[in-house]
Amino acid sequence: MNTEVLLDVRHLKVAYHRIAVAVHDVTLQVRRGTIVALVGNNGAGKTTTLRAISGFIGLDDARVVSGSVVFEGRALQNPSPALMTALGVTIVPERDKVFPNLTLMENLSAVSSSRAKGRERHRLESLVFDVFPALAPLRSRLAGLLSGGERQMLALGSALVCNPSLLLVDELSLGLAPRVVDEILKRLVAIRQELGITVLLVEQNAPAALGIADYGYVLENGRVSLEGTAKDLRSQEQLRQHYLGIGNDQEHRAYRRIKAEVKGESA
C-alpha cells in the first residue's frame, strides 16, 4: 500500500536553550492512512521529534535548528502548536495530557473549533464516547481524578475532537497496565480504520507499538538507526536484542566489553 507522503521530515536537528541538541539528524516519512511507530530508548529523542513536528511554545525554549518538516506538501518553520492543530496535526502529549481542573466534558469542550464547527463538532464529541464508551459515565468527573487509563482515553478523545488528519501519540503506554495498553491500542487501530486518520506513534514499548504499526523507525541518540516495515523490524534479531530484551547474548557481550575497557584503561 503506497499512499502519498503526509509528513516528510528530513535531517531534523532540534536544540534546547540554544545549546543542548536533543535530535541530531532524523529523517522519516509518514504515509497517509498508515500507523508509523517511532521506537527507541529513553532519551533517544523521540518526544523531542514529536514536539518539533507539533510545535514548540516560548516557554519550551527549543527550536528546530536545521532540517525540514513538510506536512501535506507545506513546509513549516517552527510553527506554533495552535497553527499545527489548525492544519490538522494534533499531538497527544506524554505528560500533562489533560486539564486536571476541568471536568471530562469541559476537556472536550475546551478544544478549539478551528477544524470542526457546529454539527460536525457535535458529531466528533459524541464519537469520542462511541470509541471510548468507558468515558460516558464520567462526563462530570474532574479530569485530575480519573485513572491513568481513563486519562489516556480522554487525551486521545480530546485529540479526536481536533479533527486531525495526523495524530501524534507520545508514550501512550507509560504508567498503564499491559491490558489497558492493549485495549487502547486496539481503539487506535479502530480509529485509523474508521476515520482514516494517520498515526505517528512514539513508544518505549516497542513490541506493543510494532504490533499495530505498518512501518517503523528506531531512534538512537537523536538519530534514526534503523527503519523498515513493522514486520521486518519485529523479526530483526538486532532489534530484538537491543530493545525487546529477548536473547541474553547482547547483555553478556555488552558487559564483557565494559569489563575489558575498564581493564584496558587501568593497565
State the residues that interact with another protein by CB under 8 A: 18, 54-55, 57-61, 80-82, 85-86, 90-91, 93, 96-102, 106-107, 109-115, 158-159, 162
Rounded to a whole number of angstroms, the minimum distance from the CB of residue 89 to another protein is 10
Centre a 10 Å sphere on the Cβ of residue 199 and count the other Cβ atoms it contains: 23
Shortest Cβ distance from residue 12 to another protein (Å)? Answer: 19
Nearer CB in complex with another protein: 113/221:
113
CB of 99 to another protein, least distance (A): 5
Distance CA 266, CA 159 (A): 55
Distance in Å, CB of 114 to another protein, minimum: 5
Compare residues 117 and 256 and give the one whose CB is closer to another protein. Answer: 117
Of the pair 40, 79, the CB lying nearest another protein is at: 79
Residue closer to another protein, measured from CB, 8 or 106? 106
- Shortest distance (Å) from residue 163 CB to another protein: 9
Cα–Cα distance for residue pair 158/142, rounded to 1 Å: 14
Which CB, 29 or 114, lies closer to another protein?
114
Q: Which is nearer to another protein, 10 or 121 (CB)?
A: 121
Closest CA to 1 of 39, 28, 35: 35
Let me know if 104 is exposed, middle or buried by CB neighbors in 10 A (0-12, 13-18, 19+): buried
Q: How far is the CB of 172 from another protein (least distance, A)?
A: 16
